[in-house]
Chain A
Amino acid sequence: MLTTPPHLYIRRPSPTTAEFTVTTRPPLTLPLRLALTSLTVLRLLVAIITLFTLYIRFHALLLPPSSSFPSDLSPQQHHLYLWSLTTHHLERARLSPAGQFISTQITTNLPEWTHLALAMAVLYLSLTIPLHTTESLLVLRGLGIQTSTTTGNLLGGICWPWGMGGKEAKPATTRFIPTEKIRDVLINEAFRGFEVRYYLIVVVEGEEEVVVVFPRLLPRRKIVEAVWRGVRGCLHEAPMEGGGWYNGRDGHKN
């Protein structure tokens, strides 16, 4: 429900500029927004709880023993500084029944290093695993082609359901190829596991490797063909008539 098979969006403000976006994110409807929000909140919660267990375990390292104060101390004395405020609340949370429960459970069951490693793993997973992958190809006549991939960077797992209207998240990796260097744009096929995948490549002049467009999603042939036709029509002047010939099926195996 939260993801779909890769599908294509085309943005074409003028005939000489086009952006082809392949994404696994379904169009944002209200239920989807709600689901994404709750998922994000859940993941943040998991992260916070993990951090809290770490605090419970290692609080002695963080606070010098003199400054750890009993829970019945009035908070007014410590509102002077943000730090003491934070530590005060953390201490109160630690000494609360839930905190005590967690601390006894953890200290009896997990050795220190396992706890640390586990917590790190959980933090990493909860914050960075991306839910959606978006890859796009921007074709600018006279300038070149730009491929971009948005995947899990730091906090990649937190998908903000509100900022997804027009502006996409900042792409993690982009690669711009000037038109001068583009030898050709082809559709190629390759074995991948037990299937044959068609994929779009850009052959770059003077480079040892070809550039694969949409390298993570590797969308289906229909999408790839549509993008290929669009690129043909957009990239060079004197556009060709809608892909009358097709040099993609060259049977070149990788």
Chain B
Amino acid sequence: MPEHDALMRVFWPTDLPRSDLKGVVVGWRNSALDVFVLAILEEVEPRNVETALQIGTLLRNAPHSLNRIYELCGQSSIRVLGLSNTPESVDIDSSWIRVATGQGRRVPTVTCARASSIQIILFERPLPGRMQYISLNPIALALGDKKGRFRQDFNDSGEEDDEKEEHLLKAKKRQLVEKLKQHSVIKHAPSAKERALAKIVNQINWAWELEQLLQKNVSRIGTRPKRSLSVSERVVESATTARDMMVVWMWNLFTIYVLPIFQRLFVLGLMAHRVAAEVLLFFLEWRARPKYAALKDISATAQQVEIRLLQFCYWPMQYVTLRLRKNDWESVTTSHPDYIRFYNSLWLVANDVIIGIALGSYIIDNSSWVGEEISNLLSTYTVEALQSSISWLMGWPAGLKLNSELAVFLGDLFLWVIDYWSNCIEALRPVLPHIIWFIGFSSFAGASMPIALFSDLLSILTIHIYSFYLASARIYHWQLNILISLFHLFRGKKHNVLRNRIDSCDYDLDQLLVGTILFTLLFFLLPTVVVFYLNFAIARMAIITLKAVFDTMLSCLNHFPLFAIMLRVKDPRRLPGGVRFELRDTQDFRHGVNDTPKPLPSTSVIYLKSIPLNFKAMFHQYFQMGHRIRKHYLSPHVLLCLLTGKFVPPLNRKNLYSLQYSMLPARRAGIMEMWDAVNSLPSPKRRAAPIIVPVLANGKKLSSNGGRIRGHGKGWGSNS
């Protein structure tokens, strides 16, 4: 098979046992000069290995279907790739590799008759039992089907300006890159080796499990006289298995008669809760009209309840997916992100409840004191502070000579409303400890609940500030608009609405006179209105900041990647963030080899390593949320709104909470779907009676079957 450059690529696991014995190298042959080593079978004849591979002896007793291996590894069979530690005198097939390995060498020496240069790519096999794996792309901690849903929701909201701008920028960049792409003259068709990379990643992930299987079956290779057990051995055998038989009988009794009843009851209870959740969710998501806000968009508590309910709806589905994982090879890595997400959300909820219980018992024990404090705070900051600031504004604040009549009028107006409001708060005071007690009680459902409730309570108890802000902003905005149009009049111009431009206009003398007088009047009144407006705008901004703090706490409690961080510390290989290659110097291992009669082909030794996911990627969602908040509140647009007295819209809750929904699917599974999924769980397998005819002639008992099934039979909650 002629290739352009006889470059041979050998993938070699570094953690293969190194021995000086003769052996047969088996593995995948991805193309003629691209081989992937799985195992070295020692002390066997290559011809026997070949026949064993052909008739499948080496893969006997596989726990799951073999087709799955071939499908994922992209090859139809495992081949003999070469020989290890064979003397040069032995003739071998020209496509086979000759490997020298041993205790002393860190890197095996590979030669091949056909290859003129060799890349040895060394990798450490990820352990599938510990859920380690490698992947070319970083593991996705968030579910990835969100985009469409949120785009659709925001087509008509004020967010669109920012998004549009972003889209335009992106499109521009894409165009530039497209242009750059046109410069490439030659398009290289990818060779077989280059296309094989995705398959090779799978092969690396499978390497450990396949080697175990192959090594287990090595003893079957070759013809060995099989001897049946002698009578005395049989007696010993049955004596030792009698106890096991009893245990198995009891276990089967339990799994067949008792366990299904409990399971059934549990599933029925679960379904009842699911129906209740559906009803609640209907109320939370109900909109009078498609464009109106639903309850969950207005209130943080409703949002929090909705998130918990959605999580509750999603967990059984996730659990079923994870359970089905057990029916497949451990090397299949597709469900590992699901596993991390599932346990992350479980852990977060558990954490939330634990913190909540602590917080709740504190609040309940001190409900009267907390209520007292809160009402004090309310009366100090939302009533007295406002009153004092308004009276300060009424009497020429900071040396500004305001219009006293207007200031007194405005101030009296606001003071009157505040008085009325303080009466309301006074009326509320005796009820407050009860409310606080209720909030404390709710925190047994998680610390996020009281936080959400406090956030809502804050919005309700500061509604007067919100309305003051609205009123003063409106007045200020009107006045500013009138001033602008009067200024045009003053200059002999007017704003042409039809063409959206400034036209010159001939005004009469009296029009001009009245307009100018009004302009002067309003201009001198402007500072008075401005100070009032600024006062309430600042108060409003303070409240928004406070709510932002609450929201941040909520998002930390609901979405902190706790499990991922724990994994990152405990076992970084479970969170792959891509691969990295390291070129090693060739000299440092070659001078140790003194038995090479002829020069080796030029060899490059490359280490393939998995990069753990970096922390930035873990907190990607937080960065995105921070970016969004910053863009919403610190943009020039908002400053302009503040300056001209236009209403600053609060950041849409949905937008802010896209972070929290990133761990939930866009569409929740329906009740029937869940019923089907829960019932599709495999029933616990009957444990086979341990009448084992020993496979090995020397009487070693293989206990692989029994041990594995024991892991299956525990039903709900055994998977952790």
Contacts and interface: CB of A to CB of B under 8 A. Distances in A.
Contacts of B611: 174
A167 to B, nearest CB: 9
Given A13-B583, A13-B605, A180 B197 contact: yes
A184 B184 contact: yes
Contacts of A254: 176
Interface string B8-38: 0100000000000000000000000010000
Contact of B603 (A13, A144, A180, A188): A13
Most-contacted residue by chain B among A14, A174, A175 (CB, 10 A): A14
B117 interface: yes
A13 B602 contact: yes
A174 B610 CA distance: 11
Contacts of B586: 13
Nearest to B188: A236
Interface stretch (B496-504, B509-517, B573-581): B573-581
Given A14-B119, A186-B180, A252-B180, A179 B583 contact: no
A210 B178 CA distance: 10
A231 interface: no
Contact of A14 (B118, B179, B191): B118
A195 interface: no
B194 A142 contact: yes
A144 B197 contact: yes
A171 B583 CA distance: 13
A238 interface: yes
Contact of B170 (A11, A166, A208, A250): A208
B195 interface: yes
Interface string A221-254: 0000000000000001110000001010010101
Nearest to B190: A180
B219 to A, nearest CB: 37
Interface stretch (A15-23, A32-40, A100-108): A15-23
A183 B583 contact: no
B136 interface: yes
Contact of A183 (B5, B184, B193): B184
B581 A138 contact: yes
Interface in B170-185: 170, 173-174, 176-177, 179-181, 183-185
A19 B583 contact: yes
Interface string A32-72: 00000000000000000000000000000000000000000
Nearest to B187: A183
B604 A17 contact: yes
Report the contact-size class of chain B (Cβ under 8 Å from the partner).
Answer: 35 or more
Interface string A118-150: 000000000000000000001011111010100
Most-contacted residue by chain A among B117, B170, B581, B602 (CB, 10 A): B581
Contacts of A15: 5, 117, 602
B287 to A, nearest CB: 36
A135 to B, nearest CB: 15
A176 interface: yes
A240 to B, nearest CB: 9
A19 B582 CA distance: 10
B322 to A, nearest CB: 30
Given A17-B604, A140-B119, A176 B578 contact: yes
A203 interface: yes
Contacts of B173: 208-209
Nearest to A248: B183
A203 B184 CA distance: 9
A175 B5 CA distance: 27
B183 A140 contact: no
Contacts of A142: 7, 9, 34, 119, 191, 193-194
A201 B177 CA distance: 11
A178 interface: yes
Contacts of B174: 208
Most-contacted residue by chain A among B9, B188, B191 (CB, 10 A): B188
A246 to B, nearest CB: 11
A237 B183 contact: no
Given A210-B177, A250-B183, 19 more contacts: A11-B585, A13-B602, A14-B603, A17-B606, A140-B119, A141-B5, A142-B193, A143-B194, A175-B578, A178-B197, A179-B190, A183-B184, A184-B181, A188-B180, A203-B180, A203-B184, A237-B3, A237-B7, A252-B180
5 contacts: A13-B586, A176-B136, A184-B181, A186-B184, A208-B177
Sort A-B residue pairs by CB-CB distance and give the 9 closest, nearest first: A184-B184, A17-B604, A14-B602, A142-B193, A13-B604, A237-B4, A179-B194, A14-B604, A14-B117
